[in-house]
Structure 1
């Protein structure tokens, strides 16, 4: 009976060892130990999740995204508006500016796009191009450090800057300052004035400067490399790229130049005008009836230049600033998306209706703009070269090259305002209405959104001219005004997701805050090198090797037990793993196998599901039996510890080691059952800037998939359990445990065999089962010692001839 029980135990433990491989296989797929982290699945979804407008928090679990994942065409998209949103609207504090100056190439100083208002923070010397703009500076821009020369000149490498700009700067600005009361002293104090970031922030603050906001411009595409830091169980950081937009100088496509240039261009203009920009200077260029507008040979040489000049203001004196979406709008859009996602994930019929809605590009036009008596020039305040057309033209966008006119377009519209696509629109709206009615969406409270957007004054405009009289017109349509609200809310949704931009254009005649056209995205090429697979493969093969070795030895023992049942040491087989592990596999391999279990127990069991056109992360805990097996596999570490301590614990090992491992396995199982680890995500963007607005290198946030603290707890449990078990055996069961009799074994027997079985007297006569457990393979007259990798041969006793007079033979009588 015991024989069959021993065989069944060997088969059971081998089966569990093989099953364990299937349990840990997902965890050992990558060095993050993130189960099933496929490139077109979980990896793409994670990038999409961080690319959303998330505010300050991120719910990793349950946040669904409407997108088809897991196909060959699945990929990520990058929004080229994103680096501009960061550089021009978010990273605009005084501290952000001063830190960015630390990496500024001083020769690039006057290539930053901004129109200056004053020389110094005390506003003693005015430098605005026009008097009206100077008044606008006083009314709106006093707190913006980007409109003062002093802010940046205090922070440049003066030697490099002086070699590039000093002569031209002194001619256009510095000489007039130097000739003014206090000007020479102010100039003398500028070189290397900034001592530290903290002291410089304090100085700016005392002058009333609270921000540093550059102008919106399309002279360059700001480069950006952004990533998410993922931490595994070893606290190793792997960076996953979420955005990789190259820096591009647009050269001839820099069309906002007509509205606002860079000061390096102004330096050239000052030489051409032979005057100073300081308005109080005797040689101020404005006193000579000269304008910067005249130098660009634009106004009044085209009809559209006349319209823009008359209704917005003179060129080269228009301030462009990127506006960020109001917090109320971001909150409303996220709430709307959450409602839609929840409904579509729980209703397959509704999801099918939603999926059936086609994309549509329509041509809505405000009703009041339509007239046969108007010539339309578009809604682009910097494209003065665009010829007029009899149809309403598009609004502005970053990529405008100002060449050919194009009709206004939008991704969604109500049909009575569509000029030529009404039939398509009717079909589109009918399908959308069916889906919305079936969804039963709650009526969202949009009052805060309406108030904030209205206060900002977001609109679309059209520059036009009366054909008969050439009278310039500025046609305006508030984004949320009247029947246009449908289009307005659709555009606001795009704005939040970075598919549109809102830019305020401040001219000497009027100010317009414009919603851009939709901006095309760029594909993000995923890199396979970002998810390494080296450590995981090593551990995976190590787990396979240990399983194979244990299975092979177990198979041999089963065969020997069945074929040689007489006097087989059956009870020793119950200690199979403790004896065979160190002997046949080795302690390093056993530690590695135990480590795989620690990894699985200390890494979040997170799964990814893609159904009904949605992707979502969800908790994917192991089954109770799988968790119990994984916890027991972690006790290989305690096996190794007790095996190493055999020289000190001696005969107590047979009793305390199994008890300690049992306690460790149960404690590990209970801890992970009661308090399973869950992946966490945090948003803590940090950016390094090159030349302020040339290149951003950012970390968007972090994801914790593995938890070193939990791994440390698992190891502590192993140690404490062994110690506790030893104390119990040593002090409470000591009297019942008899130490084995002393023995002198003339050959090498593993300590684990001596601890858990009786010492055999002869390797040539020991039972084959015990021989295999001890690391010996006995075949006829040969014994192979797996531990020493040696072969011993048994032979006949050779006769010995003794010939010596000193030896006396004595006959011993027998009884």
Structure 2
């Protein structure tokens, strides 16, 4: 086959073109592979950064969680003391945290609303900033309209009698609420209802008219009483709990422990049947939809709404709170307590005597855990979901006492719960959660269990987990046998027992012997007479002491009972890393880096000028690069930032979280001596600023003491940081405020001070005092120095008095070498006998003519004559 010459040429061209395309593709592939490798490396670098960030976040979460556990425990004992403690392994007073509890569960501190926030100042100030439209939903049962008790308001005669014992509580007086809210807003929302319930009746008498006219005036806070609201579960009391960390500058940064918002839970409530709130009273008298429609809420009125009916009858006929026919449980409960609608629910706080016992127990438990970590970790725990008293095992009991019948069995709720939902599907049964070692220790000690006691009795109420119960008790006794618990039990058991017995806290349940027998109210004291089988009771009481359970007194027209509630829901919230303040730290870090880079650049330029001038420089001036060059090239503000950063490091404790034997604890790490010396050397930047500011007074004396002053400050700061290091302090002091009364609470539980403002101010004082003392000593001990040779305006104050000038004067003219000029902020070059000098201090360019000099002194040819009248400003 023959191919023409032209065709061959064309084929060769095509082949060459294909080869070129192949080469280009190969090159592109190579470049693409390089880009892929770069991207892969970037991904690896980013992964490393993410891992490092995750490690930092984990460290922050661990430290935060352990601090939270400490504050939660200490808050339960309401300690008002400052713990100036050495944070060390041996003297550690802080919380030792079980490794299994890394995700600390924070508890909603509802008891703040009913215990700590009832003072006259706190409550009334909160009431005055309350939205007046929400005032009727404050949960309290009013007894009187006015403080003089002229007009009674209780919805039953027997409850009115009980009101005589409540007069120290301003919350039972409607006047306390009305005087402290915005009246215009209140009348806008509830004006019609108020007129029907109160206004129309009051306007029928002169006394009532005067009362209404004076109602807008507020009484002084000092004239009010305490203001305690009642327990309810138709709304969550939101709680924002924080603690603060204070740095060496005295600035405190808040960290959130738990944050929940108040919210109404009308569909899940179970307490309104006891009393449906004053808001519903007002709503029911507007219109004719209820038996109370159009009637008064004053007992003295001839139109009193409940004169011929009870609030319970209103429930049955006009609401869905009580369905008809009435549930047998409710009938029995009313025969025991009294009719629904008139039952007070009083929150019972933990007595101070009980808190004192808890404080000593926590101290004992921490001591045991540190000394015997293996035995402590070997303690087994168990959980009994539906405990029941041994005396009730043969009976059939119902669910929560706040709910209707959903079925009877021998294993059911012992009490009530804030989170109780009266729905058999959504209802969470009661449980005694014995999954915490501290519960086991507390219950075993105060139930007085030991090797001589038959443990079968102690576990008789948990038959379904009997073996687990005995195993847990035996493992607990193995630890306690190594310690003498008789002292703890002997001193505190009686006090604890009597305090709980005086409150008459009980279990309560409704049930019957058989399905044909009537329903009875079963109630037993939580504690028997030092019975060894009270171990479950002590478990539950410990939960109450630490805030996991509530105690509420139900007081009705027929009787009353104080019940221990079931465990409340707990909430685990992740650590908000964004709360870690980094803005100032980042600014300070960048400031320190900037100062370092500028000083390095200044030193490099100075070295270049030394080379250009062939060594014709004043070597002593080069030691002033920081004290003179730093002030000029960097400025006092950034120099101050660097010195304050060093002061902060010297005034801050280095606290780290360590793990050992399943425990975590805080400890301080001492810095190496050379690290401390380097940090102390940074304080001399502040010395330079002080010298520069005082130089207008010290003048020629400055160079006599400046060096020794810096040495004294350096050594003193290093010795102080090494011999007397800063120790962190923990102040546990719960400070709460009401954001919205009966709806939102905000508390700061304590402060962790890792830095010492006193130490920082002390170091600053040392700098100033050293400067003053050195100046005074120099003036007294040394002869008066000669005045500075040069008075040129091109020299800054510190250069004029700190630069060495003796050898650089010729024919009455002072000369400045180019290297020293750079330190002084003068960038210079010489051209044809003329110096061109740029002054960075004034941002101007000067032209200086070379003066006649002794030609035999060759070094003066390479230096700048500082003659102000011989220079020309070129700008």
TM tier relative to shorter chain = 0.7 to 0.9
Task: Tell me if structure 1 keeps the 8 A contact 2:692–2:797.
Answer: no
Q: Hey, what's the Cα distance between the residues in 1 that align with 2:185 and 2:628?
A: 74
Q: Hey, what's the Cα distance between the residues in 1 that align with 2:800 and 2:201?
A: 96
Equivalent residue number for residue 66 of structure 2: 45
Q: Does residue 471 of structure 2 align to residue 424 of structure 1?
A: no
Q: Deviations over 1:736-757 (max 9, x none)?
A: x5667x4699997995497344
Q: Does residue 433 of structure 2 align to residue 411 of structure 1?
A: yes
Q: Hey, what's the Cα distance between the residues in 2 that align with 1:792 and 1:124?
A: 93
Q: Hey, what's the Cα distance between the residues in 2 that align with 1:599 and 1:115?
A: 55
The unaligned stretches of length 5 or more in structure 2 are 1-51, 86-91, 317-321, 435-439, 441-457, 849-875
1:655-674 aligned at under 5 Å gives the runs 655-669=704-718
Q: Hey, what's the Cα distance between the residues in 1 that align with 2:846 and 2:824?
A: 15
Task: Tell me if structure 1 keeps the 8 A contact 2:386–2:412.
Answer: no
Instruction: Choose from 148, 154, 160 the match for 2:185.
Output: 160
Task: Tell me if structure 1 keeps the 8 A contact 2:130–2:741.
Answer: yes
Instruction: Choose from 457, 475, 479 the match for 1:435.
Output: 479
Q: Hey, what's the Cα distance between the residues in 2 that align with 1:363 and 1:166?
A: 49
Q: CA deviation at 1:41?
A: 3.3
Equivalent residue number for residue 123 of structure 1: 149
Q: Hey, what's the Cα distance between the residues in 1 that align with 2:152 and 2:847?
A: 104
Q: Hey, what's the Cα distance between the residues in 2 that align with 1:276 and 1:777?
A: 93
Equivalent residue number for residue 514 of structure 2: 467
Q: Does residue 265 of structure 2 align to residue 265 of structure 1?
A: no
Q: TM-score, normalised by structure 1?
A: 0.79
Task: Tell me if structure 2 keeps the 8 A contact 1:228–1:241.
Answer: yes
Q: Does residue 64 of structure 2 align to residue 64 of structure 1?
A: no
The unaligned stretches of length 5 or more in structure 1 are 1-28, 205-209, 795-815
Q: CA deviation at 1:449?
A: 1.2
Equivalent residue number for residue 803 of structure 1: none
- Of 357-366 and 594-603, more deviation after overlay is shown by 357-366
Task: Tell me if structure 2 keeps the 8 A contact 1:313–1:508.
Answer: yes
Q: Does residue 127 of structure 2 align to residue 101 of structure 1?
A: yes
Rate the CA distance shift 1:784–1:551 in 2: closer, same or farther, 3 A.
Answer: farther
1:325-724 aligned at under 5 Å gives the runs 325-353=350-378, 357-358=380-381, 360-371=383-394, 374-378=395-399, 380-404=400-424, 408-412=430-434, 414-438=458-482, 441=485, 443-444=488-489, 445-467=492-514, 469-481=516-528, 482-548=531-597, 550=599, 577-578=626-627, 581-582=630-631, 587-643=636-692, 649-669=698-718, 676-724=725-773
Q: Hey, what's the Cα distance between the residues in 2 that align with 1:255 and 1:133?
A: 21
Task: Tell me if structure 1 keeps the 8 A contact 2:291–2:314.
Answer: no
SS of the aligned residue for 1:331 comes to helix
Higher RCO, Cα 8 Å, sep 6+? 1
Q: CA deviation at 1:390?
A: 4.3
Q: Hey, what's the Cα distance between the residues in 2 that align with 1:679 and 1:630?
A: 19
Q: Hey, what's the Cα distance between the residues in 1 that align with 2:723 and 2:706?
A: 26
Q: Hey, what's the Cα distance between the residues in 2 that align with 1:577 and 1:276?
A: 85
Give the total of aligned pairs: 741
SS of the aligned residue for 1:65 comes to coil
Rate the CA distance shift 1:554–1:608 in 2: closer, same or farther, 3 A.
Answer: farther
Task: Tell me if structure 2 keeps the 8 A contact 1:745–1:761.
Answer: no
Q: Does residue 267 of structure 2 align to residue 245 of structure 1?
A: no
Task: Tell me if structure 1 keeps the 8 A contact 2:241–2:747.
Answer: yes
Q: Deviations over 1:42-93 (max 9, x none)?
A: 3333333333324322536433324357x9x94443312x1x2111232123
Equivalent residue number for residue 192 of structure 1: 216
SS of the aligned residue for 1:193 comes to coil
SS of the aligned residue for 2:146 comes to coil
Q: CA deviation at 1:102?
A: 0.7
Equivalent residue number for residue 221 of structure 1: 236
Q: Hey, what's the Cα distance between the residues in 1 that align with 2:421 and 2:515?
A: 29
Q: Does residue 194 of structure 2 align to residue 169 of structure 1?
A: yes
SS of the aligned residue for 1:273 comes to coil
Equivalent residue number for residue 27 of structure 2: none
Q: Deviations over 1:236-285 (max 9, x none)?
A: 34222233111221021121111121122223445522454444443445
Equivalent residue number for residue 48 of structure 2: none
Q: Hey, what's the Cα distance between the residues in 1 that align with 2:735 and 2:847?
A: 71
Instruction: Choose from 308, 319, 322 the match for 1:288.
Output: 308
SS of the aligned residue for 1:345 comes to helix
Q: Hey, what's the Cα distance between the residues in 1 that align with 2:155 and 2:116?
A: 27
